[in-house]
Amino acid sequence: MVPNGRLRREQDDGNSRLTDNKSDDGGRKGDAPVPPSSDIEHVSTALENLSIARRRALALHYSGIATWAWDVRTDEVDADGAFRDLFGLSGGVALTSALIVDLIHPEDRPRVSEALERTISTGEPYEERFRISTGDGDIRWLRGIGEAHQCDEDGKATVIVGLNMDASEEKETEARLMAIVGEMRHRIKNSLAMVNSLAAATARESGAIDDFVEKFRGRIDALAAAQRAIGTTGDTHLVDLRAAIEGAMAPFVATADWQRRITVDIADTAVAPSLGQALALTIYELATNAIKYGALLYDDGTIALKCSFSDNQQALVISWREAHDGAQTDVRATGTGFGTRLIDRLIAAENGVIDRRHLKSGYMVELTFPLPASSQQALL
């Protein structure tokens, strides 16, 4: 150590010395002898060994890793306290491999036993993940790793050393990822089926390729809006209703005139992806029809879209109201085009009810969907 930066090491005729740059009165102070280099190296080695041992102990303690050694000939197992904690064993219990293997879940026990036997016979490192039943009845996933430490003259392991760690969180993460992958596969399959249906039906109702492209692109954009809303609630199993519907309405509020005439009031809630997709496509079809037959066909026409909950909080209600002065167009009352059929099919698939009405001042569509019990509780 060099206090205040004053000490330095000098080499003179092969002798190592620590010298002080200045004396108390500011003058040069004489050389001071230094312990032999062999003593310094011994202290340094001891400090290094102590440091390594301490660091290893800290790593084991804070990582929760448990260590053990198994004498295969006597079946005795020597383990640390972390091992007993993992397996739910008290300090007074004598450990044997038979006792420990009995704690392993019956479905995993044969696989673990076979892996240990391979390590004994061939020296192959042991690594398995398995479940155990703790004393309080909980199921815990562990990861076990081991290798042969001593072998007899036949090459069979007589002492195996290893470690265990809690793998429950890792397994839960894997399970969640597998569920997400499965859900995404299902969702992609359904989306592709929907795209195929949209393409075929749009082609049947289109007179020219440009007409097909325009209609098909708009419907795909509405479908994409619902897909983009998936996960915006923080849960990949839910869709933010506001994001899905506003995404579907985006093309229709892009102009200042239509934006002025369209009002959107959407309750903050999350819905299942299938319902979010159905509503996005439904709203898009209603807005498209409003351009061709309804409010947006007239300079004074307005649209009011509202999403709210029923008085008893047991249903989601979507209200679409168009209004304008003058004579009303009745084509939608008896319409059987693809858009109408698409809406009917989407609503029915979500157990919804659709109510279409021609009013004196315009046109109204009301959609009602029952809410699952979990959603009802969240609203209370």
| pTM metric for this prediction | 0.48
- In the numeric block, the tokens 């109408």 are attached to 340
pLDDT band (50, 70, 90) for residue 320:
very high
Q: Which string of DSSP letters, residue by residue, matches 234-295? A: S-TT-EEHHHHHHHHHGGGGSSHHHHHHEEEEE---EE-HHHHHHHHHHHHHHHHHHHHTSG
Contact 329, 295 (CB under 8 A): no
- Residues 202-236 pLDDT 10s: 787 788 888 888 878 877 876 676 666 655 444 55
Domains of the chain: residue spans and CATH: 3-58 (no CATH), 65-166 (3.30.450.20), 186-379 (3.30.565.10)
In degrees and rounded to multiples of 5, residue 107 shows phi and psi of -75, -25
Question: Measured between alpha carbons, how far is 12 from 331 in angstroms, rounded to an integer?
Answer: 108
Cβ pair 181, 141 in contact under 8 A: no
240-263 residue pLDDT tens: 888 888 888 887 776 778 888 999
Residue 92 has pLDDT above 60, yes or no: yes
Q: Residue 197's pLDDT is what?
A: 63
Q: How far is CA 26 from the centre of its chain?
A: 67
Instruction: Find the mean pLDDT for residues 47-72.
Output: 80
Whole-angstrom Cα distance, residue 203 to residue 214? 11
Pick from 199, 206, 245, 241: nearest CA to 342: 199
**CA separation for the pair 126, 261 (Å, rounded):** 71
pLDDT at 314: 86
Is the pLDDT at 35 greater than 60, yes or no?
A: no
User: pLDDT tens digits, residue range 321-347?
Assistant: 999 876 655 545 445 566 778 788 889
| Per-chain mean pLDDT for the chain | 78
Whole-angstrom distance, CA of residue 33 vs CA of residue 15: 9
Rounded Cα distance between 176 and 216, Å, is 35
Report the pLDDT value the prediction gives residue 187, as an integer from 0 to 100.
62
Q: Which residue has the higher pLDDT, 266 or 15?
A: 266
Looking at residue 375, its pLDDT comes to: 52
Coil/strand/helix, residue 25: coil
Q: Which residue has the higher pLDDT, 139 or 129?
A: 129
Spatial distance between the Cα atoms of 188 and 273, rounded to a whole number of angstroms: 12
pLDDT at 10: 46
Question: What's the pLDDT score for residue 288?
Answer: 81
**68: confidence class by pLDDT, cuts 50, 70, 90:** very high
Q: 1-15, 310-324, 362-376: which has the minimum mean pLDDT?
A: 1-15
Q: Tell me what pLDDT residue 124 has.
A: 93
User: What confidence score (pLDDT) does residue 312 get?
Assistant: 79
Mean pLDDT across 367-375 = 77
What is the predicted pLDDT for the residue at 4? Answer: 43
Residue 99 pLDDT level (bands cut at 50, 70, 90): very high
Radius of gyration of the chain (CA): 37
Res 374 pLDDT > 70: no
pLDDT digits (tens, 9 = 90+) for 259-295: 889 999 988 888 888 888 888 888 888 888 888 788 8
Q: What is the pLDDT of residue 119?
A: 95
Task: Provide mean pLDDT across the span 105-120.
Answer: 95
pLDDT score recorded for residue 128: 95
pLDDT of residue 331: 47
Residue 171 CB partners (closer than 8 Å, separation 6+): 129, 141
pLDDT of residue 229: 60
Q: Taking the alpha carbons of 252, 329, 345, 320 in that order, is the dihedral positive or negative?
A: positive
The DSSP H or E segment spanning 161 is strand 157-166
